Structure 1
Amino acid sequence: MRNTLWIRVMATVLATFAALSFARGNVSAKLMASLTQTTLPTVQWFTPNLIPLGTTTFIINGTGYQTGAVAFLDGMPLPTTFLNATQLRATTNVMQSGSGYITILNPNATAPSKPYLIEFGAGIKLSLNPATANVAPGGRLQLTATVNGTANKVVYWYVNGGGSISQTGLYVAPLAAQTTPVTIRIVSAEFAARQATATLTITGPSAPVQISISPLAANVMAATAQQFTALVTGSNNKGSTWPVNGVTNGNASFGTISNNGYYVAL
């Protein structure tokens, strides 16, 4: 009797343990499936790199693709064939050069991959006008950037070889002529691999050194002060001296002036 009871108890314990193990296994499997589904696919590159215009089939290379995955171009689904976990085949019918963004959505996923830039035809093209020019020492030149193939027209401006350039394309030449040309380069804010350059030659006589003062005239009462400002052009040295009636920084008879142009009448 005791043996029979012991066998029944052990059978019940084993059955309960097996049921719990099975339940835990299901929970674990569901958890793993959930984790797998929340791992987003990625897009890394396309074959070919530039997609020809017209009806074209191309390969999307990346990671995390599942059977039934769909590629989207700017939110529109494309005919897509699953090849393996790292490759999909998709078909487009784009008739104009430009660019867009590809995303991948796996079946049962709640979110697509991060957008990845794709180019069609000529893709994104940048140009500079003028492409070549002569600039006098100390002179200025306004360059114009043209961006095709993307709605984002922002470019970043860089200069190599001397002078400076603003982010609106205004170039200021160095103060002396030079034999080495200056290169202006623009980079697309949308796709940094797309760039354009212009070549400038700094030629001609050096810019003369000139200085101006503001204001040119002022009425200053005794025991009052007046701020003057000096502007030096044609030289990298912007320093200046301030004489009053020929006396550097003035004196008690003519008034005094500081090295930054602050005059005090005595």
Structure 2
Amino acid sequence: MSARSSSARTLSDRRSLPQVRKASPRSQIRAMARWLALIAITQQVSCGGNTGSNSAAANLASMPMVTVSLSPASAQIEAGATVQFLVNVQNASNPAVTWQVNGIPGGNSSVGTITPSGAATASYTAPASVSGALTVTVAAVLQADTTKFGSANVTINPLPVAKISISPQNANVVAGASLQFSAVVQNGPQAVIWEVNNIPGGSAMSGTITSSPQGSLVALYTAPALIPL
């Protein structure tokens, strides 16, 4: 009986002991990871036997924006006239630009031409004639980055119709006599060609007309010496 009782107590004691579960490989890995992390943190904040924390802040500054702009931003001129543009390039290491008119480098006779006149300037010349008001776009495109450009609209108006008036409108002269005429030109070049009966300078039969200097707005008409019958 004693022996059996002793064996029973031993078995009971064994059952009362805490059960130790064997850690799975996955649990061991997680524990190792936490341990390594703890070591890494401890090493990071320990210095000279003292434990502390240090922090550093880095401000990430954005790159300055590249901009291209034209001055003037718009213009109105007559056919054949010229306007100068100034380009302003900001925050670009290479400010060189290509000048365009309606997307055409340098332009052409239909939309007008643009010619660089300096490192940051260019002269736009409108077409010699237009049938009606025409609007074109002048642009300066950054050569280092063609997505960056500045532009300006130019409205081209037709030249007004030239008008010429002559004074006096009517006159009477005797054969061989002279009479001075003057011309007034509006909306056109201040130079004229004097004619008599559609003949430049006239003729002996219809009389002659001369101006000095040639093309001036004042001319002298001299009637023929004999009136043709």
- Highest Rg: 1 or 2? 2
Normalized against structure 1, the TM-score is what?
A: 0.32
User: Higher relative contact order at CA 8 Å, sep ≥6: structure 1 or structure 2?
Assistant: 2
- Say which structure is richer in strand: 1
Normalized against structure 2, the TM-score is what?
A: 0.37
